[in-house]
Amino acid sequence: MKNKILLAIADGVGDRPVPELNMLTPLSYAKTPTLDLLAKNGSCGIMDLHGAGVPVGTDLGHMILFGYKLSDYPGRGPIEAFGEGISLKAGDVAFRCNFSTVDDNMNVIDRRAGRIREGTQELAKAVSGMSIDGVEVLLKEATEHRAVLVLRGNGLSAAVSDTDPKVEGKPVKPCVPKEETREADYTARLLNKILPEIHHVLKNHPLNIRRQKEGKAPANFLLTRGAGKMPKLEKTMERLHVSGACVAAESTVLGVARLAGLTPLTSPTFTGNIDTDIAGKASMAAKALKDYDFVVLHMKATDLFGHDNNPAGKVRAIERFDQMVEIAMRQIADTIEDNVIVALAADHSTPCERREHSGDPVPVVISGINIRKDRVEAFDEVSCAEGCLCRIKGNDFFNILMDYLEATPKEGN
Amino acid sequence: MKNKILLAIADGVGDRPVPELNMLTPLSYAKTPTLDLLAKNGSCGIMDLHGAGVPVGTDLGHMILFGYKLSDYPGRGPIEAFGEGISLKAGDVAFRCNFSTVDDNMNVIDRRAGRIREGTQELAKAVSGMSIDGVEVLLKEATEHRAVLVLRGNGLSAAVSDTDPKVEGKPVKPCVPKEETREADYTARLLNKILPEIHHVLKNHPLNIRRQKEGKAPANFLLTRGAGKMPKLEKTMERLHVSGACVAAESTVLGVARLAGLTPLTSPTFTGNIDTDIAGKASMAAKALKDYDFVVLHMKATDLFGHDNNPAGKVRAIERFDQMVEIAMRQIADTIEDNVIVALAADHSTPCERREHSGDPVPVVISGINIRKDRVEAFDEVSCAEGCLCRIKGNDFFNILMDYLEATPKEGN
């Protein structure tokens, strides 16, 4: 019987003892019958995504879970571009942008152009396709006032500074090279030439003229930051010849999934918060397992409550995660005839007391009829450390999963 | 509440089952209520400083505990120089030296110049500041007959042989290059030129003329060994923006602390042996925690008894270490309002039967109210191996500690 894998990721689920929870972690406090059953029926361990004690971001954490390494990390701009569905080519330089408002002296009046929500697609279209000195300019609107700018051409560098002054009332910062290379120098000069041209186009766009008449801040400038160059990254799913999909709400996770060659699957009912449609997500993942061998099912809310230092909320989110996995497993049992291995993981810890990602390891489980069973009976940070996977790295975890799909290449003969 | 860390290091504490101790290790045999309580209230594990089965020296072991890697190791000369408070510059070549006695034919009569203890500061001053071919010569006296010689100039290499013949009655060995580079060749020739000049200065120094009159061996030569070149090493505490201090007696440990940017704290009552002033050390460490976020509290005696194959002595030293940590913790509870995490570690194992450092892993504990608690209830080599830190490397341990201080940089976003 062929193996398939459902990998359920509880974003930022790892934590530390919390006074409000009788000095238990949210994960050990929460009622998680499904996760515990999986721990009981499989191999457990703890995982450092990159290295022990090294905190990672959600983007890098998921890159590692999907088969990449720290050295593959392209920077924030390209990750955002992938999140917005832009197919980057090797050599492209991508920037995170804000539609913003500047006055005639290039002072920043509003960093978010009155938190513009409508019409940004139209504005982006008016800019996208411009070119300067043979370099192509692509612009794609993102959530609310955000956008992604891509420069496509030869000899570009991502070693250039941000133009966003970060505070209002100050002038736009000129872009300067961050290293002494011809490419960085060229890219900075190029950006300093193209941004005024974009300003010219945006300023005269009918939508902005209308906004001004209505007393709204015109979205007449692009503030750039987080330049990143797209490296030549092979899609891990293609490299290993695995068919994969990722069910998620958050654009960062969906973007990294796309980068790795996992088909992104989402729906407007998936909110990225605790009110997300767990039945819809579970059902979509279970269905995807008919067509794909490796399906990721992601929940964001666990991380958010860590950032908010809300242990009770994190407990609730964990219990919803447990239910989501339970629903998915029930549907899988009804519809899939192959052996579905269920794995549990997280992209990093977000301890409530820290309100930020930490380097504490996360618990992991790999569970299925053909998986070695250790004596661990609960899915939590301490119990799993006693399991037969011991302490592994994110890269190990990915290779182990891929090996159950018989996809990790054999070395030697 | 802000985290601070007290890291208590029992030098060479790791051991093997000992027949005289009912086949227990000294650590499991000793009564250590404080260390056991820490194990009970925290995360336990075992640690390979560099790699499993690889013995390390006290200097490298502490370098790793303070955030460096094997590839950062500069050799014994520079470590000694730091131990003696010499601020080395990148490119300096340092040698460990003995003040010794040679006859007119350059035969070594006494490798330690009658174990000279007094006046070496004067002798060092007479030599220090000489220069040859534009290279500056620095000499600093160390404990008893020992000294540190530093060559400061361009184009020097540490790939040169020792001049110490290691036995008496033989001539001083000429310094030869250990690799075929112009720098090694130049440095060897330089040393062969400067050592006779130093001999000339020392031979005619009033102190040595007086020693000869008194029938004592004159300290008229410098035998060199352990050449090491100072690499460009960033102070780990500066790199991570952590304020740190190190309470110790031994100059090697204090020197490595200085290298890492930890303020060295010591006192003449700290002996580096079992009679060391544990109350004074504990109190100094507790006080330092008011001003520093990371304080190291070191004890040497545990290692010495391993080298002497004295299991009963090692048990006594371990019990003194336990008391020292207990005193420090009591004072911390009375005076510090932040959350103080107490960590336990060692720089290597020194099994009694081996009388030398071994590659056996050492037990580690990280203990505090906000630290994950596993089921381990005792601080010893085997109990800790069942803990939730699992088996980690020295570098991981350092990163984990620094992450509790929120100092380990986050990767990705």
Mutate to test the interface with B, among A13, A16, A96 (most CBs of B within 10 A): A16
Mutate to test the interface with A, among B65, B403, B405, B406 (most CBs of A within 10 A): B403
Chain B residues with CB under 8 Å of A54 CB are 399, 403, 408-411
Chain B residues with CB under 8 Å of A386 CB are 374-375, 386, 388
Q: Do A58 and B373 touch (CB under 8 A)?
A: no
Bridge partners for B341 per DSSP: B5
CA distances from A345 to A379, A380, B202 (A): 10, 11, 69
Q: Closest residue of A to B388, CA-based?
A: A385
Q: Nearest-CA distance from A58 to chain B in Å?
A: 6
Give residue B78's Cα distance to chain centre.
11
Confidence of residue A189 (pLDDT cuts 50, 70, 90): very high
pLDDT at A305 over 90: yes
Q: What is the pLDDT of residues B104-116, one digit of tens each?
A: 999 999 999 999 9
Q: Do A391 and B386 touch (CB under 8 A)?
A: no
Q: Do B411 and A79 touch (CB under 8 A)?
A: no
3-class SS at A297?
Answer: strand
Q: Nearest-CA distance from B282 to chain A in Å?
A: 28
Selecting from A19, A57, A386 the residue whose C-beta is nearest the C-beta of B412 gives A57
3-class SS at A271?
Answer: coil
pLDDT at B223 over 80: yes
Using CA atoms, how far apart are residues B11 and B39, in angstroms rounded to an integer?
Answer: 18
Evaluate the CA torsion angle A385, A390, A392, A397 in order and state its sign: negative
Residue A349 near residue A12, CB atoms below 8 Å? yes
**% residues pLDDT > 90 (chain B):** 90
pLDDT at B272 over 90: no
The identity of residue A205, as a single letter, is H
3-class SS at A341?
Answer: strand
Mean pLDDT of A236-262: 95
Confidence of residue B271 (pLDDT cuts 50, 70, 90): confident
Q: What is the pLDDT of residues A286-296, one digit of tens each?
A: 999 999 999 99
Q: Nearest-CA distance from A402 to chain B in Å?
A: 24
Confidence of residue A85 (pLDDT cuts 50, 70, 90): confident
Chain B residues with CB under 8 Å of A16 CB are 370-372
Q: What is the pLDDT of residue B231?
A: 81
Q: What is the pLDDT of residues B321-353, one digit of tens each?
A: 999 999 999 999 999 888 999 999 999 999 999
Q: Closest residue of A to B43, CA-based?
A: A382
Tokens of A144: 């609310």
Q: What is the pLDDT of residues B49-100, one digit of tens each?
A: 999 999 999 999 999 999 999 999 988 889 889 888 888 888 999 999 999 9
Confidence of residue A230 (pLDDT cuts 50, 70, 90): confident
Selecting from B386, B393, B411 the residue whose C-beta is nearest the C-beta of A56 gives B411
Q: Do B410 and A46 touch (CB under 8 A)?
A: no
Give ∠ CA B42-B43-B47 in degrees, rounded to 5. Answer: 135
**Number of A:B CB contacts under 8 A?**
102
Q: Do A53 and B386 touch (CB under 8 A)?
A: no
User: Where is average pLDDT lowest: A360-374, B217-231, B281-295, B381-395?
Assistant: B217-231
- B105-108 contacts: CB < 8 A, separation 24 or more? B105/B171, B106/B171, B106/B172, B106/B221, B107/B169, B107/B170, B107/B171, B107/B172, B108/B165, B108/B167, B108/B168, B108/B169, B108/B170, B108/B171, B108/B172, B108/B221, B108/B223
Environment class of residue A404 by beta-carbon count within 10 Å: exposed (0-12), middle (13-18) or buried (19+)? buried
**% residues pLDDT > 70 (chain A):** 100
Selecting from B397, B401, B411 the residue whose C-beta is nearest the C-beta of A70 gives B411
Tokens of B412: 């990705």
Mark out chain B residues that contact chain A at CB-CB < 8 A: 369-375, 386-393, 396-403, 406, 408-413
Chain B residues with CB under 8 Å of A353 CB are 370
Q: What is the pLDDT of residue B185?
A: 97
Q: What is the pLDDT of residues A30-61, one digit of tens each?
A: 999 999 999 999 999 999 999 999 999 999 99
Q: What is the pLDDT of residues B21-55, one digit of tens each?
A: 999 999 999 999 999 999 999 999 999 999 999 99
pLDDT at B1 over 90: no
Q: Nearest-CA distance from A212 to chain B in Å?
A: 35
- B27-32 contacts: CB < 8 A, separation 24 or more? B27/B318, B27/B363, B27/B379, B27/B380, B27/B381, B28/B378, B28/B380, B28/B381, B28/B382, B28/B383, B29/B311, B29/B315, B30/B315, B30/B318, B30/B319, B30/B322, B31/B319, B31/B322, B32/B318, B32/B319, B32/B321, B32/B322, B32/B378, B32/B379
Q: Do A57 and B399 touch (CB under 8 A)?
A: no
Q: Do B410 and A56 touch (CB under 8 A)?
A: yes
Q: Closest residue of A to B385, CA-based?
A: A386
pLDDT at A162 over 80: yes
Mean pLDDT of A192-201: 96
**% residues pLDDT > 70 (chain B):** 100
Chain B residues with CB under 8 Å of A357 CB are 410
Bridge partners for A262 per DSSP: A244
- Burial string for A157-192 (b: 16+ CB within 10 Å, else e) reads bbbbbbbbeeeeeeebbebbbeeeeebbbbbbbbbe
Q: What is the pLDDT of residue B144?
A: 84
Using CA atoms, how far apart are residues A245 and A257, in angstroms rounded to an integer?
Answer: 8
Using CA atoms, how far apart are residues B324 and B282, in angstroms rounded to an integer?
Answer: 6
3-class SS at A390?
Answer: strand
Q: At a CB cut-off of 8 Å and minimum separation 6, what does B374 contact?
A: A382, A385, A386, B42, B43, B44, B386, B387, B388
Strand ranges across the sheet with B390-393 = B263-265, B244-247, B294-299, B3-10, B339-345, B362-367, B42-48, B390-393
Mutate to test the interface with A, among B47, B367, B393, B413 (most CBs of A within 10 A): B413
Q: Do A360 and B403 touch (CB under 8 A)?
A: yes
